[in-house]
Structure 1
Amino acid sequence: MMVGNNNRGEKFILFLINPFISAITSIKDIRDGVSHWFLYLWFLVFGVAFCAVSEAADSFRYVEDFLVEYSYTWSQYVLEINEYFAFESNIKDIYTLTVNFLVGRFSDNYHWTYLIYAAVFGFFYIKSLKIFLRHNKVSNNIVFYVLLFMFCYSNPIYNINGVRFWTAAWIGVYVALNFFVEKDYKKIVLLLLMPLIHGASVVWVVIMAIALLLS
């Protein structure tokens, strides 16, 4: 079911008034062909407004890293990258380092990093969700929304608190859906991003490589 221009306008106005309520209604109307865009906008709002206040959370350590790395010079950044690929670095992956360095070119505010984290996380979330919707044949609304809840809540946007692991997870899901459901084997190249985002995701890369060899 596609929505008309008037409905799009109403959704946009609701988003401006209350992005959270807009996200809830977007999930309810997710099959209308446009609500996923407003859900993605909510992710961006959530990201830029995200506050790392708990010292026990991963996000607090990411902010501590940002306060060091945002002021890196190009030479310092390249040195870190070279050491990483030479297996001589203490860092396990280069995603947050790269985001911190890029944001540092124009700001010392860590909220920009979480906007980027939410944008990347949300991109693969929405792309995976669209595949789920495209292949979902459930006609019963109750069953559909139960499945939708399970899919969406398996890795929700607030997991940018631990952005490295959970972003890599959505990339892994997206690649797997393309490989096994869409039969789009070209997307498997995206697996190369996963170890750069979270080192431990190399395990998933190996599993998918084996699946490719056996297919």
Structure 2
Amino acid sequence: MLTRSYTSNITDSSITDTRNYFILFILWPFLSFMVALANFSRKEARTVVYIFLIYYGLSFVNANVAVDAYRYALSLKANSLLPFSDFFKIVGGLYSDTTVDIIEPLISFIVSRFTSDHGLYFGVWAAIFGYFYLKSITLIYDRYIVEQNMNTILLMAFFVMTIPVTMISGVRMWTAAWIFFYGAFRVITEKNPRFLFISFSAVFVHWSFISANAILLIYYLIGNRNIIYIPLAVSSFVLPHIMAPVFRVLALRLGGGMQQRYAGYSSEGYMLAVQEGAAQSAWFMRITNDMVFYYLLIAIAVIQLRHSSMMKEKHEQNLFSFLLLFLAFVNFGMPIPSFGERFMILFFLFATAYIIMYFSKLSGNKIYFLILLGLFPLLLYSMINLRLGFENINAWIFSPGFGVPLFAPVLSLYEVLFY
């Protein structure tokens, strides 16, 4: 009787909260989003956060011709002019010399049946991205942020900002990254092979995750072999070019679009273009990734060398072993522009999750020196990601009234702040 009454009260409370969130979202979406973030432990709040991410995608500002999003929008317009019968041509061209992914062409063609406006297109991507983004955040939050302390809160903030929703301007890579992370993390920490299907599905979003899944599969099959992984990780810093021939042979064996894409990424012209682009970037943008990378390595090394007795649980040992193997993979991929650097960002997610595991065991609100050491690079990285997102954030999304950014004249947050 008491149980039934208690359950009924919880259900009634959930219904009331859902109704209140819905009303507030209609009146002021951004305020509803902020309230939901403050109450993230509740299921209703997480639903509001997810809906707001989709709302962001629907109001996406796409004015920068230099980013991938602009090209996707042009492709959407081109697809809208095609008859439905061309759907079979698109399917037939998948993994050809020109197309190496499945999901993006399908989404583009299906959305083009309804509209040529990019808003719905990025809304669909925000829904996919947001689903795995929130699943991953919720997974870490529920497991390790139960008893919150300032150390885990700061690390969690960085985890959230490592690949934020503003990065759907490059929809394929970063959506695939969250899909892979969620599946791989469950495989690593739970040894549950069912989640391999989720991590493998990232390949359909971005072809390069064939390699990341190969690393995950190797780890799953041979397990925690640190006697192999440690020398491999160390050698990857000394001889990063040693694996380039292996990548080349693999691309040749796969043929078609895979070979074409690898050839494009590894060509001298592409490498020179990347180097010129880096040279034109501000100094802090050039070195921020490296600062975060080496900070995370130092933090993991300190935990292992000084506090390894606290990290003896099986899932913690599993993640550490995988980090060693994935670190070697990232370093060996560095000679290929846009390959190693992109997977370095994915390494940040796994490494941050490991450090969160450690600090979740410490009580109190004292901020430890190891966290203070990383505040500058982690904050700088997060601020740069936020600044880059200003060009795609619709300024009207902060205004009261649902739907305002969908109908008001296009105005990016960048234009409001810097013009």
Q: How has the CA–CA distance of structure 1 residues 22 and 210 changed in structure 2, closer, same or farther, with 3 Å as cutoff? A: same
Aligned to 1:201: 209
Aligned to 1:66: 76
Output aligned runs, 1:22-33, within 5 Å.
Answer: 22-33=32-43
Report the CA distance between 1:12 and its aligned residue. 2.5
Q: How has the CA–CA distance of structure 1 residues 9 and 74 changed in structure 2, closer, same or farther, with 3 Å as cutoff? A: closer
Aligned to 1:17: 27
Q: How has the CA–CA distance of structure 1 residues 144 and 54 changed in structure 2, closer, same or farther, with 3 Å as cutoff? A: same
1:157 lines up with 2:165 in the alignment: yes
2:54 to 19, 44, 62: 44
Which one is further off, 69-78 or 95-104?
Answer: 69-78
Which one is further off, 124-133 or 13-22?
Answer: 13-22
CA contact 1:80–1:89 (8 Å) conserved in 2? no
Report the CA distance between 1:52 and its aligned residue. 0.7
Distance 1:162 1:57 in 2: 7
Which one is further off, 136-145 or 57-66?
Answer: 136-145
Map Cα deviations across residues 37-87 of structure 1 (whole Å, 9 max, x no partner). 0100101100111121111121111101111123333443322332334xx
- Three-state SS of the structure 1 residue aligned to 2:93 is helix
Report the CA distance between 1:18 and its aligned residue. 2.1
Corresponding residue pairs, total = 212
Equivalent position amino acid for 1:65 in 2 = S
Aligned to 2:65: 55
Equivalent position amino acid for 1:214 in 2 = I
1:7 lines up with 2:52 in the alignment: no
CA contact 2:62–2:70 (8 Å) conserved in 1? yes
Map Cα deviations across residues 189-211 of structure 1 (whole Å, 9 max, x no partner). 12332222112222211111112
Equivalent position amino acid for 2:125 in 1 = Y
Aligned to 1:119: 127
Report the CA distance between 1:138 and its aligned residue. 5.2
Aligned to 2:102: 94
Distance 2:49 2:189 in 1: 24
2:147 to 112, 133, 139: 139
* Unpaired stretches in structure 1, ≥5 consecutive residues: none
TM, length-normalised to structure 1: 0.88
Which one is further off, 56-65 or 11-20?
Answer: 11-20
Aligned to 2:287: none
Distance 1:174 1:207 in 2: 15
1:213 lines up with 2:198 in the alignment: no
Distance 1:137 1:149 in 2: 12
Distance 2:100 2:31 in 1: 38
1:189 to 178, 184, 197: 197
Distance 1:70 1:194 in 2: 26
CA contact 2:63–2:70 (8 Å) conserved in 1? yes
Q: Which has the larger radius of gyration?
A: 2
2:45 to 17, 35, 53: 35
- Three-state SS of the structure 2 residue aligned to 1:84 is coil
Map Cα deviations across residues 83-138 of structure 1 (whole Å, 9 max, x no partner). 334xx331231322111111122222221111110110011111112211221155
Structure of higher RCO (CA pairs closer than 8 Å, 6+ residues apart): 2
TM, length-normalised to structure 2: 0.47
Equivalent position amino acid for 2:126 in 1 = A
Distance 2:155 2:85 in 1: 49
CA contact 2:173–2:206 (8 Å) conserved in 1? yes
Aligned to 1:82: 92
